[in-house]
Amino acid sequence: MNKKKQVSPVVIAVGLVAVLGFVAFMGFKTLSGPARQAPSAPEMYDAVGKLAIKSGGDYSKLSPSEQKYLELMSHGHGQKLLANQFARVNGARGK
């Protein structure tokens, strides 16, 4: 009267793979260390200010890697950001 259903070997194998995958993932996360900290806004704008002074506000005088940094940081408005930061830096110097 008390018949138990047996669990199929496929279900056991899938459960075992899932548990092992979870353990491996947690071990990787634990051993890989903390995520890299993104720079703060003041740090980024200081870097843009230095690029503005270096280039004289001229986007074409920047290296391709510096242009890429500005484009990524400003979401495609690197030239405008550089020009605005150059104006801001020059306005602060004049006072």
pLDDT at 63 (0 to 100): 93
Tell me the per-residue pLDDT of 32-47, one tens digit each, with 9 for 90 and over.
877 777 778 888 888 8
Q: Is the pLDDT of residue 94 over 70?
A: no
% residues pLDDT > 70 (the chain): 94
Q: Which residue has the tokens 């280039």?
A: 55
Give the integer Cα–Cα distance in Å for 17 and 64.
Answer: 46
pLDDT at 35 (0 to 100): 73
Please state the domain extents for the chain.
7-36, 41-94
- What does the pLDDT average to over 7-33? 92
Q: Is the pLDDT of residue 1 over 90?
A: no
Give the integer Cα–Cα distance in Å for 57 and 49.
Answer: 9
- What does the pLDDT average to over 16-45? 86
pTM here is 0.55
Q: Is the pLDDT of residue 3 over 70?
A: yes
